[in-house]
Structure 1
Amino acid sequence: MTGLLAGKRLLITGVLTETSIAFHVARLAQQEGARIVLTSFGRATSITRSMAERLPQPPQVLRLDVTDEADLAGLAEAVRAELGGLDGILHSVAFAPRTALGGAFLDTSWSDAATALEISAYSLKSLVTSCLPVMSEGASVVGLDYDAGQAWPGYDWMGVSKAALEAVTRYLALYLGTRRIRVNLVAAGFVRTMAARSIPGSQRLEDIWSTRPPLPWDVHDPAPAARACVALLSDWLPMTTGEVLHVDGGLHAVVT
């Protein structure tokens, strides 16, 4: 078997539509030689299973609600049964109540803000620690980010959650380095995924990304971010951890 991820065993979360970055990571990972499992739960499971059938080799879909202690406790054994072990994880899990988005920042309750933070940031720690018993030395964890270095209109408590996600990544990198486990994020530019379209006022974000990056940015193309994820999941960046890799056409680096 050849390919950038030949022989790798990966767990991929967040596959819900063909437009999602996670779906493109799953497809490209298989094309590069990886064996994968997906996760989902509740009403989304049937959607994820449908998406799994559209991959080159339809993988198993494991139940995982990142807020459910029973699901987290059983995840390692479920992975072991399917793959034998784990060489990489893609964290593509995020959610905020509508009351925490769309300009309602000042009025958002702690309960709704806490939901966003738990699912979108703390879940990275929960997912990784649950999988540690089956993770190999040299494994790679990659999460999907959205540049938290500035405030984006309407992004509100999801933006705060992404800032927390970046901090969680750095601390995981610190504490997992002795196991040679790398933890990094890919900060993708705006892509018209289902999650992005659910943000009130997302058209304003789309307009920003359609006109301002120094490299032309296609809001309909998740492939550049997916390729970056696959590169980080491979062995080609063995000494990179705690990093936020921007795949955004360079917008984060310039004033326009």
Structure 2
Amino acid sequence: MIDLKGKIAVVFGLANKRSIAWGIAQKLSEAGATLAICYQSERLRQDAEALAADLPSARTFQCDVAVDADIDNVFEQLKSAYGKLDILVHSIGFAPNIKNDVLHTTREDFRIAHDISAYSLIALARAAEPLMTEGGSILTLTYYGSTKVFPNYNIMGVAKAALEATVRYLAADLGSKKIRVNAISAGPIKTLAARGIGDFTKILNAVEERGPLHRNVEVAEVGNTALFLSSDLASGITGEVTFVDCGYNITGL
């Protein structure tokens, strides 16, 4: 059994109990980690506090990752509250007008998609590094649409490709500090974010039909992988994209 007692973990992007971030937060908490939950705006405060109430000793903090001052402020609060940080989970992605094909993506929509979905990992890692005095684990969430074309995923696929490249470069930058940076590529899950992808059911059906396990992945399975990657059992793993998709990514036809 993985023991994370004494470890401090901060989770960005926890929206509700159907989100991947919730599955990860649950597994980290069950292993004994102390959780900090960050929500984007005052509008989401009540939901975040309700989620945190189900996790022993969890606290909530407000942070809009698109605002540098918010990031600086929340990490000052984390430093004051905990003194250190061991685990950071980045479960954030957003692309405006995702229904537009890539050819018709505007310059501003491209900028926002990459700012929120990829650059925010850089900003959070930079702020977290001084608090990871004993090393640590930084995790982000990606999707196979970064590598292969999926209908209606559009500019988010391009942003996820940038995110995965960011993981590799951050892993190289932070490795000397004993900070590991990895990504989990989860299979399609019916989350709030997935609602914005047209014909999402077709993707779910394709995984059931052609994936080796002939089913879709569950949030808890992604949480288990995050728990492993956050623990000392994964001490030699960094800069990697780990697929948790019931094997769908290995298939051709």
Length-normalised TM-score, structure 1: 0.93
Distance 1:3 1:171 in 2: 28
Trace 1:105-144 onto structure 2 (pairs within 5 A): 105-144=102-141
Are 1:172 and 2:170 counterparts?
A: yes
One-letter amino acid matched to 1:150: K
CA contact (8 A) 1:103 1:153 kept: no
Question: What displacement does 1:108 show?
Answer: 1.3
Question: What displacement does 1:163 show?
Answer: 0.2
Distance 2:56 2:187 in 1: 29
CA contact (8 A) 1:217 1:248 kept: no
Are 1:46 and 2:46 counterparts?
A: yes
Question: What displacement does 1:103 show?
Answer: 4.8
Question: What displacement does 1:3 show?
Answer: 4.1
Q: Secondary structure at the match of 2:232?
A: coil
**Unaligned 5+ residue runs, structure 1?**
none
Question: What displacement does 1:58 show?
Answer: 5.2
- Report the counterpart of residue 84 of structure 1 in structure 2: 83
- Report the counterpart of residue 163 of structure 1 in structure 2: 161
The correspondence for 2:99, drawn from 102, 123, 130, is 102
- Report the counterpart of residue 24 of structure 1 in structure 2: 23
Q: Secondary structure at the match of 2:16?
A: coil
Question: What displacement does 1:89 show?
Answer: 0.4
Are 1:246 and 2:210 counterparts?
A: no
- Report the counterpart of residue 199 of structure 1 in structure 2: 197
Distance 1:243 1:251 in 2: 18
How many residue pairs match? The answer is 251
Q: Secondary structure at the match of 1:38?
A: strand
Higher deviation after alignment, 116-125 or 36-45: 36-45
Distance 1:186 1:33 in 2: 21
Question: What displacement does 1:59 show?
Answer: 1.5
Are 1:57 and 2:42 counterparts?
A: no
RMSD between aligned residues:
1.5
Question: What displacement does 1:61 show?
Answer: 1.0
- Report the counterpart of residue 152 of structure 1 in structure 2: 150
Deviations 1:9-50 (A, max 9, x none): 100111111111111111111110100101012222222222
CA contact (8 A) 2:26 2:223 kept: no
Deviations 1:209-238 (A, max 9, x none): 23221013235x211111101110111011
One-letter amino acid matched to 2:121: L
Trace 1:175-194 onto structure 2 (pairs within 5 A): 175-194=173-192
Cα 1:159–1:149, aligned 2, differ >3 Å: closer, same or farther? Answer: same
Q: Secondary structure at the match of 2:152?
A: coil
Distance 1:7 1:186 in 2: 24
Distance 2:25 2:229 in 1: 14
Deviations 1:117-153 (A, max 9, x none): 1000111001110112211332000111102221111
Cα 1:204–1:103, aligned 2, differ >3 Å: closer, same or farther? Answer: farther
Q: Secondary structure at the match of 1:86?
A: coil
Length-normalised TM-score, structure 2: 0.94
- Report the counterpart of residue 216 of structure 1 in structure 2: 214
